[in-house]
């Protein structure tokens, strides 16, 4: 092994031009290989690009012919309208408000208790209540309880109670549940 290596180095020493020639030739051939490889890649890529461009042009033409139809345009507009113009369905809103109003109206009001200034929207119910007996407000199963039992009511708030002559008056504000689980019908 050592002998062969010595001979190899002696050969290099004695034939520097030849050695350089082989080195340059090898590098040149590698360089040519890369060059040729790139040229082949360019050729294939251009071929693919040309075929894809043609395919896209054909499909685009089919697409244009489909999308230019009146029906397509109308459907596209319909989709856009449905996505952008979200409706509040007033049919359901008014039905729900009437349902809530009926429920409040049908609460079993005791003698001497009345309500007025009823205001209802989809977020809250507001009304003024008058009663002769303060016990009727808090007693179990009476005025406050009846509001708390309403399934569509989320939170009931009475800021203050006022006595005028012999009648207790208060404003009741009930927040409406905003989730979709309430059955209004």
Partner 1 sequence: MTQQIENNLTNSVSLENIKLRNIKQKAYIFILLVLTYLFWGSFQDSFSQVEALNSQNIALDNQLIQVESDLSDANKINEITKTAETNKDKIVACINEKRCDMLETSKDIKDNISTIRTYFLINKFDISKMDFNQKAILQNINEFLLNSVSNPNWNINIISFWVPTLADYDKDIYKLPITLSIDFANKNMLLNFLENMEYKLPVLNGVYYKINSLNYNIVNYDIGQTVNIWVDAYFYK
Q: 94-131 burial string, b = 16+ CB within 10 Å, else e?
A: eebbeebeebbeebebeeebebeeeebeeeebebebeb
122 binds partner 1 (CB under 8 A): no
Residue whose CB is less far from partner 1, 61 or 169: 61
Exactly one of 6, 33, 77, 112 binds partner 1 (CB under 8 A); that residue is 77
Q: Evaluate whether 176 touches 100 at the Cβ level (below 8 Å).
A: yes
78 binds partner 1 (CB under 8 A): yes
Terminal CA-to-CA distance of the chain, rounded, Å?
100
- Give the binding site for partner 1 (CB under 8 A): 17-18, 20-21, 24-25, 28, 31, 34-35, 38-39, 41-42, 45-46, 48-49, 52-53, 55-56, 59-60, 62-63, 66-67, 69-82, 84-85, 87-91, 94-95, 97-98, 101, 118, 120
């Amino acid at each position: 092994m050592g002998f062969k290596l010595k001979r190899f180095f002696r050969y290099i020493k004695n034939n520097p031009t030849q050695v350089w020639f082989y080195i340059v030739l090898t590098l040149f051939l590698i360089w040519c290989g890369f060059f040729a490889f790139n040229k082949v890649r360019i050729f294939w890529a251009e071929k693919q690009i040309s075929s894809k461009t043609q395919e896209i042009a054909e499909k685009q033409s089919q697409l244009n012919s489909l999308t230019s139809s009146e029906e397509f345009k109308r459907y596209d507009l319909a989709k856009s309208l449905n996505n952008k113009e979200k409706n509040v369905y007033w049919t359901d809103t008014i039905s729900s408000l009437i349902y809530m109003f009926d429920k409040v109206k049908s609460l079993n009001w005791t003698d001497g208790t009345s309500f007025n200034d009823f205001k209802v929207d989809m977020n809250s119910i507001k009304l003024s209540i008058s009663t002769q007996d303060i016990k009727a407000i808090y007693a179990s199963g009476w005025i406050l309880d009846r509001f708390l039992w309403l399934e569509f009511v989320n939170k009931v708030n009475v800021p203050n109670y006022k006595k005028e002559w012999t009648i207790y008056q208060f404003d009741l504000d009930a927040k409406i549940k905003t989730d979709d689980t309430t059955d209004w019908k």
